[in-house]
Chain A
């Protein structure tokens, strides 16, 4: 992870600010930084989104491909995640430097989506046991300024919202087998229900308190953080502690409660924003990567 060097005096300054609920950039402990979302940014994908959270920038692309269903679940499609930490974000990621962090993020994403309700996998099935949709969710980190998990999860939700899977028709082939036919109309698509896709909230324990959406400076002052993936209904689909430190049980309970509250409140504005963007249709002014 990209880190910053902080002197003792700077650390004390950050710590005292958080104690008084006033962070270096003027936010209070449960505030997010400015979030910008733009969907449909990469034309070669079936769904894509770019999210900037402060100075953290993440690009998510979803590509649908046809595959054979997993033997354990013949009537379901599946999702594959990959997080690429490019050397653009920080020189430390050059070569294989970003592999460890990428692996950690990828594994967490698998864990977050490892339940029945996040994505309706049954809708990704084309013909049971034979064909299904496999969604490749590829995440690219463009800039790192703390709070990668939250930015990635917002990006994934937006990209899945934006995903359009072409309709296919299954017909009996001449020799008894099945034939798959792609619809001619490029606008004849299926969309994915994203209502239950969880958002991740990272709570960083700094001194006696915890902060949401920590910057790199704040992260440098913290020894442990708690990551929670929260659905709009408030259920938690994944929780894990990251970092080398330990937490006292009471603060864990406090943090899970706060995480649930923050996570729940994240979904409403996000979905509203996404539908608003969609309603603009073709008139929407594209911002792209220079915005």
Chain B
């Protein structure tokens, strides 16, 4: 927030220490065998996940996800009356998604203002969720989804999608199904599922073939892909194999998310009987 004079601002130009540190050898991810955290390559070996609903009492629904060191929190507000009255299509509700990184989330400090990368990620979250929410049940109203990445240790987008759909479910928004996100990082012939931050960054530096990353959001109960985003260079066959791996990863996460949701519903007590 550049206009906030009360905030103590640092000098105009400052550099992160990481620029002076010898670069860890990210380009040479060990091409075979185990990954740095003990998981193996080419296997749908997602990081263990901790999930909980309903942490933020003010929000209609909220969820928290922790996978490895990636930590995210998501809040859902609404349905409430839409702020934008100019839209002609009032028969359907409108979904707004906003994804932000905390300034301290990444190794290098980020800005407070939402950058274009975060806007791009917000759009991806929105498009992934849009097809899953029964928006026609909420005419003339809007639903806000806010995702905050507290700590980014890779695959933030994939987990943000999962977290957001869980928060929507926790808020009692009618949906066709849960949306789960999963990402892979392609490194030559092998893939790394649910990559960590170091594994994610290594891709930009190496110049070999088939270096890229892919994020898929998937509705397991309907068998539908609601979001897809890839980056870097990949052959078409690799891409298809990557999508399959991501779908498999989503199926692995599905029971965990379901359990968390069931637990949240049980904890909330019996549903009030409507007359």
- Give the interface of A toward B (CB within 8 A): 71, 103-104, 106-107, 110-111, 114-117, 223-224, 226, 231, 234-249, 252-253, 256-257, 259-260
21 A-B pairs in the complex with CB atoms less than 8 angstroms apart: A104-B123, A107-B119, A115-B211, A115-B232, A115-B233, A117-B207, A236-B230, A238-B230, A239-B214, A239-B229, A240-B228, A240-B230, A241-B227, A246-B131, A247-B228, A249-B223, A249-B224, A253-B240, A253-B243, A256-B236, A260-B236
**Complex Cα–Cα for A111 and B215 (A):** 13
Q: How large is the interface on B (under 10, 10 to 19, 20 to 34, 35 or more residues)?
A: 35 or more
Instruction: Answer yes or no: B81 CB below 8 A from chain A CBs.
Output: no
Q: Known contacts being A104-B123, A244-B130, A249-B243, is A235 close to B233, with CB within 8 Å?
A: yes
Q: Known contacts being A107-B116, A236-B234, A239-B239, is A115 close to B228, with CB within 8 Å?
A: no
Q: Which residue of B lies closest to A223 (CB)?
A: B131
Q: List, in ascending order, chain B residues with CB within 8 A of A244's CB.
A: 127, 130-131
Are B131 and A245 within 8 A (Cβ)? yes
**Complex Cα–Cα for A238 and B117 (A):** 15
Q: List, in ascending order, chain B residues with CB within 8 A of A116's CB.
A: 207, 211, 233
Are A252 and B243 within 8 A (Cβ)? yes
The one of A107, A117, A242, A256 in contact with B233, judged by C-beta atoms closer than 8 angstroms, is A117
0/1 string, B202-243, CB within 8 A of A gives 1: 001001011110100001001111111111111110011001
Are A240 and B19 within 8 A (Cβ)? no
Are A257 and B131 within 8 A (Cβ)? no
Instruction: Answer yes or no: B120 CB below 8 A from chain A CBs.
Output: yes
**Complex Cα–Cα for A114 and B113 (A):** 23
**Complex Cα–Cα for A256 and B235 (A):** 10
Instruction: Answer yes or no: B247 CB below 8 A from chain A CBs.
Output: yes
**Complex Cα–Cα for A181 and B14 (A):** 31
Are B225 and A237 within 8 A (Cβ)? no
Are A234 and B239 within 8 A (Cβ)? no
Q: Which residue of B lies closest to A230 (CB)?
A: B236
Known pairs A114-B231, A244-B130, A248-B225; list 18 more (Cβ under 8 Å): A106-B116, A111-B229, A111-B231, A114-B232, A116-B233, A117-B207, A231-B233, A234-B236, A235-B210, A238-B230, A238-B231, A241-B127, A243-B127, A246-B225, A247-B226, A249-B225, A252-B243, A259-B236
A231, A239, A243, A245 — most chain B CB neighbours (10 Å): A239
**Complex Cα–Cα for A33 and B203 (A):** 37
0/1 string, B136-171, CB within 8 A of A gives 1: 000000000000000000000000000000000000
The one of B116, B230, B233 in contact with A103, judged by C-beta atoms closer than 8 angstroms, is B116
Are B19 and A71 within 8 A (Cβ)? yes
- Listed from nearest, the 5 A-B pairs whose CB atoms lie closest are A246-B224, A246-B131, A246-B226, A244-B130, A107-B120
**Complex Cα–Cα for A237 and B214 (A):** 11
Q: Which residue of A lies closest to B16 (CB)?
A: A71
**Complex Cα–Cα for A247 and B132 (A):** 12
The one of B117, B124, B211, B239 in contact with A236, judged by C-beta atoms closer than 8 angstroms, is B239
The one of B210, B222, B228, B236 in contact with A226, judged by C-beta atoms closer than 8 angstroms, is B228
**Complex Cα–Cα for A238 and B119 (A):** 18
Are A248 and B236 within 8 A (Cβ)? no
B230, B233, B243 — most chain A CB neighbours (10 Å): B233
Q: List, in ascending order, chain A residues with CB within 8 A of B233's CB.
A: 115-117, 231, 235-237
**Complex Cα–Cα for A226 and B228 (A):** 8
**Complex Cα–Cα for A261 and B225 (A):** 22
B89 to A: closest C-beta gap in Å: 10
B207, B225, B247 — most chain A CB neighbours (10 Å): B225
**Complex Cα–Cα for A107 and B243 (A):** 22
**Complex Cα–Cα for A249 and B130 (A):** 18
**Complex Cα–Cα for A259 and B207 (A):** 24
Q: List, in ascending order, chain A residues with CB within 8 A of B219's CB.
A: 246
Q: Which residue of A lies closest to B241 (CB)?
A: A253
Q: List, in ascending order, chain A residues with CB within 8 A of B211's CB.
A: 115-116
B165 to A: closest C-beta gap in Å: 13
Are A237 and B232 within 8 A (Cβ)? yes
B121 to A: closest C-beta gap in Å: 9
Are B127 and A247 within 8 A (Cβ)? no
**Complex Cα–Cα for A243 and B119 (A):** 16
B62 to A: closest C-beta gap in Å: 24
B47 to A: closest C-beta gap in Å: 23
**Complex Cα–Cα for A252 and B216 (A):** 11
Are A239 and B228 within 8 A (Cβ)? yes
